[in-house]
């Protein structure tokens, strides 16, 4: 165990969030069981009022996970001094088998909480709260994720033994060895770039056409999800390389460092924002024909599509700018 202030902060805050989410889930179950919008009973009113609390808590959870995600990476990055062989977060996350799963869960929870808030937003605008039960059932999926994340994170920090010799981004994301990460790194640059720009183009095209006509929502959402994954792979495969101007350095974390003007934060926030709002369109699709939501969901979806397009455009613009003005030439 390493007794770093940021580690204590992360663990303590996670514990609090866990308590809150468990509390929400408990009342979520009560709402699912006892909800009857037609009833004028006091019981129904009590349940209705609970929903305000749960919305507020989930909003906090969403905001919390965004900061937590970055603080986690930042803290882990800081710890590289303590581990032989590690030079940035990539290596430190590997010191035991909890590091990467925790990171992944944090991202998943952030996206999930964002999608939940989108559904919540739409539902709260319909006078009969038509998807309230679905909504609170979804909350029951989020709860175990949050609890698992807290346990994994605690496990990760508790199982850290400072004398572990680890590998780092140099070897983890290098092209020589055969592991998943190194294979991502050694993906051929040109096809990757083509795939990246194609996915962005498709996303933006579908997004704008959805914004205009409100058609092909599912397709747009799936494209966003794929574009999100392709972008993550692209960061490892070639985007990071342009930032480092080192053909062999593929680390997705070093771009978060000061040396690169914290550009990583902008890239990831744009990407995460785009993913949440874009996938939000798809998540709302099954509900758009519910009578009380017909006037609400389409306009919400259009807004979301536009936001997603803007985020992805920002991401693409940042990347393209760097590729054009980088001193490194990967593709001649």
Task: Give every CB contact of residue 12 below 8 A, 6+ residues apart in sequence.
Answer: none
> Which range binds another protein by CB under 8 A, 75-83, 197-205, 212-220, 233-241?
75-83
Closest distance between another protein and the C-beta of residue 2, in Å? 6
Closest distance between another protein and the C-beta of residue 38, in Å? 5
Closest distance between another protein and the C-beta of residue 20, in Å? 6
Residues 140-179 that bind another protein (CB under 8 A): 162
Asked if residue 202 binds another protein (CB under 8 A), the reply is no
Q: Which is nearer to another protein, 56 or 229 (CB)?
A: 56
Torsion of CA 303, 304, 309, 313, to 10 degrees: 100
In the block, tokens 């069981």 appear at: 33
**Binder among 29, 30, 32, 82 for another protein (CB under 8 A):** 82
Asked if residue 49 binds another protein (CB under 8 A), the reply is yes
Tell me how far the alpha carbon of residue 43 is from its chain's centroid.
Answer: 37
- Distance in angstroms (rounded) separating the CA atoms of residues 166 and 295: 55
Asked if residue 22 binds another protein (CB under 8 A), the reply is no
**Binder among 29, 30, 32, 74 for another protein (CB under 8 A):** 74
> Which range binds another protein by CB under 8 A, 36-44, 148-156, 199-207, 270-278?
36-44
Asked if residue 277 binds another protein (CB under 8 A), the reply is no
In the block, tokens 């590998």 appear at: 167
Asked if residue 294 binds another protein (CB under 8 A), the reply is no
Q: Return residues touching another protein (CB under 8 A).
A: 2-10, 12-13, 16-17, 20, 37-38, 40-42, 45, 48-49, 52-53, 55-57, 60, 64, 67-68, 70-71, 74-75, 78, 81-82, 84, 124, 127-129, 162
């Amino acid at each position: 165990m390493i007794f770093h202030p940021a580690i204590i902060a992360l663990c303590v805050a996670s514990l609090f969030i866990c308590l809150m989410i468990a509390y929400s889930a408990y009342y979520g179950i009560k709402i699912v069981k006892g909800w009857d919008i037609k009833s004028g009973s006091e019981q129904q009113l009590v349940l209705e009022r609970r929903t305000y609390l749960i919305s507020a808590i989930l909003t906090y959870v969403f905001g919390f996970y965004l900061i937590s995600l970055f603080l986690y990476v930042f803290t882990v990055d800081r710890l590289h001094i303590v581990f032989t062989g590690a030079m940035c977060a990539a290596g430190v996350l590997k010191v035991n088998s909890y590091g990467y799963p925790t990171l992944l869960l944090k991202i998943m929870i952030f996206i999930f909480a964002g999608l939940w808030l989108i559904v919540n937003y739409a539902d709260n605008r319909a006078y009969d709260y038509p998807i309230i039960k679905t909504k609170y059932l979804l909350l029951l999926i989020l709860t175990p994720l949050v609890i698992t994340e807290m346990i994994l994170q605690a496990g990760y920090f508790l199982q850290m033994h400072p004398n572990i010799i680890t590998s780092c981004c140099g070897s983890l994301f290098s092209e020589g060895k055969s592991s998943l990460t190194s294979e991502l790194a050694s993906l051929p640059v040109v096809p990757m770039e083509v795939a990246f720009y194609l996915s962005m183009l498709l996303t933006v095209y579908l997004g704008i056409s959805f914004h205009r006509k409100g058609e092909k929502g599912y397709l747009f959402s799936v494209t966003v999800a794929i574009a999100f994954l392709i972008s993550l792979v692209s960061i490892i495969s070639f985007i990071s390389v342009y930032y480092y101007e080192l053909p062999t350095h593929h680390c997705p974390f070093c771009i978060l460092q000061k040396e690169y003007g914290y550009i990583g934060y902008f890239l990831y926030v744009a990407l995460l924002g785009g993913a949440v709002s874009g996938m939000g369109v798809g998540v709302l699709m099954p509900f758009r024909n519910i009578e009380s939501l017909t006037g609400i969901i389409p306009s919400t979806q259009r807004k979301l599509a536009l936001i997603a397009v803007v985020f992805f455009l920002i991401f693409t613009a940042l990347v393209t700018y760097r590729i054009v003005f980088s001193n490194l030439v990967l593709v001649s």
